Amino acid sequence: MYINEWYVMAQSEELTDRPLQVKALGQKFALFRDSNGNAHCLANVCVHRGGSLSSGKIKGDCLQCPYHGLQYDGDGICRFIPTLPEGAKIPERAKVDAYPVDERYGLIFAFLGDLPEAERTPILEAPEWGQDGWRTFNLLYHWHANLEVVTENSLDATHAEFAHTATSQEGQFRLGDQASIEMLDYDWGNSYVIRSGSLDLTQGHHGISQTFGYMNFEMKTADGTEPGDFRFYAYATPVDEYSVRRYLLHARNFYLGEENDKQLLKGVWQFEKEDRVLLEDTRPLLAPNPDTRQLLLTEDQIIAQYRDFVSQRQQAGWRIDTERVNATREQTVYAIPSPARRESTGWITEEIPRIRPSA
Ligand code: FES
Ligand SMILES: [Fe+2]
């Protein structure tokens, strides 16, 4: 699992006027809305004596710890200590990590890491959201599979004819006579287009955890054919090393009427089940190490590129050392470092250990 990425913490509608506990990167977070309705994301453990902030109460623009009532604002700064004498100064060390939040597309994203804004990979854009001529909706999948394994599946076109037999024909992606692959330039990751008959399928990854797919095809209509455009944007959040929440945003410019959703959704949930069952039973459970223990074929070039991309993140020191975290977790609270750690000192909670880059 990797820090320094925008991850979806919840769907907007899940965060009401109460705090919400969310798990990501193996850690707990407390989400809450201030008096203006703006969402905030804090590390869940109170620095006083370890209360779980997400079990507390919202007080104005602050979140109040359920144990002794310390109140933290949306920046993670403690603004009130109930037992402090009138006029006494709140210690500077009374603070928890607070993460940048961006709410859009009906989703609450948090940047879980300490990179300054200019260095962050932006959120994958879904420009069709709410636009005329497009119908969009959000789905949430819970899969017991590792994030990298899930992302690789999302980049993979050629499993369709075996894993999703209702929508693919056998031999559709035979390279040479039936299909061709072209790698594309993409600023925030890697992408490619695979062409087969009247179908063009562009897929790619954006950062480590976000993927997209554009499908252009010809649809049969009463008077011939019509071009159809189907797109997806997938935002995956690692709950821990072995499970993900996958937020999928669908957009289509055909069959726009709401009455078509039911039929389309049936197909989408069939797809979901087919991939889930497949991925929960593939091995190894984590991304293969070394990856020479898998046979990559021509069509897997995107997989090889994705793995290179991920290993650059490891070289940057962003990969969480899960073994060390697990070995010490009973006595040590860890925090995903927030951007404020680069600006100030006096942090009580220890930064989560990461795998040291190899020399
Ligand atoms: S543990 Fe949070 S106020 Fe004491
Ligand atoms: Fe699939």
Residue 197 pLDDT: 87
Is residue 347 predicted with pLDDT exceeding 80? yes
Residue 278 pLDDT: 96
Q: Pick the last residue of a domain from 295, 312, 329.
A: 312
pLDDT band at 307 (very low <50, low <70, confident <90, very high): very high
Q: Residue 4: which CATH number?
A: 2.102.10.10
Mean pLDDT score of the chain, rounded to an integer? 95
CA of 76 to the centre of ligand 1 (A): 14
Same domain, 269 and 343: no
CA of 52 to the centre of ligand 1 (A): 8
Q: What is the average per-residue pLDDT within 133-160?
A: 95
Same domain, 108 and 165: no
Same domain, 282 and 176: yes
249 lines ligand 1 (CB under 6 A): no
Q: What is the pLDDT of residues 56-76, one digit of tens each?
A: 999 999 999 999 999 999 999
CA of 81 to the centre of ligand 1 (A): 9
Is residue 223 predicted with pLDDT exceeding 80? no
70 lines ligand 1 (CB under 6 A): yes
Same domain, 106 and 168: no
CA of 14 to the centre of ligand 1 (A): 26
Q: What is the average per-residue pLDDT within 279-295?
A: 92
Mutate to test the pocket of ligand 1, among 57, 59, 67 (most ligand atoms within 8 A of CB): 67
51 lines ligand 1 (CB under 6 A): yes
Flag whether 264 is in a domain: yes
Is residue 221 predicted with pLDDT exceeding 90? no
Same domain, 118 and 164: no
Q: What is the average per-residue pLDDT within 259-282?
A: 92
Same domain, 109 and 240: no
Q: What is the pLDDT of residues 108-120, one digit of tens each?
A: 999 999 999 999 9
Range of the domain at 209: 135-312
Same domain, 243 and 292: yes
Q: What is the pLDDT of residues 96-106, one digit of tens each?
A: 999 999 999 99
Same domain, 208 and 259: yes
pLDDT band at 226 (very low <50, low <70, confident <90, very high): confident
Among 94-103, 193-202, 259-268, the range of highest mean pLDDT: 94-103
Is residue 254 predicted with pLDDT exceeding 90? no
Flag whether 130 is in a domain: no
CA of 275 to the centre of ligand 2 (A): 5
82 lines ligand 1 (CB under 6 A): no
Q: How many domains does the chain have?
A: 2
Nearest to 286 by CA among 156, 142, 143, 146: 146
Flag whether 106 is in a domain: yes
Q: Residue 231: which CATH number?
A: 3.90.380.10
Same domain, 105 and 145: no
Same domain, 257 and 186: yes
Flag whether 59 is in a domain: yes
Mutate to test the pocket of ligand 1, among 49, 71, 90, 96 (most ligand atoms within 8 A of CB): 49
Flag whether 129 is in a domain: no
pTM score? 0.95
67 lines ligand 1 (CB under 6 A): yes
Least confident range from 49-53, 72-76, 131-135, 219-223: namely 219-223
Same domain, 103 and 241: no
Flag whether 342 is in a domain: yes
Flag whether 308 is in a domain: yes
CA distances from residue 192 to 74, 156, 181, 185, 227 in whole angstroms, order as listed: 40, 10, 7, 8, 21
Residue 8 pLDDT: 98
CA of 68 to the centre of ligand 1 (A): 5
Q: In the sheet that 98-99 helps form, which strands lie side by side, from edge to edge?
A: 20-24, 27-33, 39-43, 98-99
39-43 and 71-73 as β-strands: parallel, antiparallel, unpaired? unpaired
Residue 186 pLDDT: 95
Q: Which has more pLDDT, 223 or 158?
A: 158
Q: What is the average per-residue pLDDT within 234-261?
A: 94
253: exposed, middle or buried (C-beta count within 10 Å: 0-12, 13-18, 19+)?
A: middle
Is residue 359 predicted with pLDDT exceeding 90? no
- Helices 147-154, 301-315: axis angle to 10 degrees equals 150
Residue 318 pLDDT: 98
Flag whether 128 is in a domain: no
Same domain, 194 and 222: yes
309 lines ligand 1 (CB under 6 A): no
Nearest to 57 by CA among 30, 83, 37, 36: 30
Q: What is the average per-residue pLDDT within 12-36?
A: 98
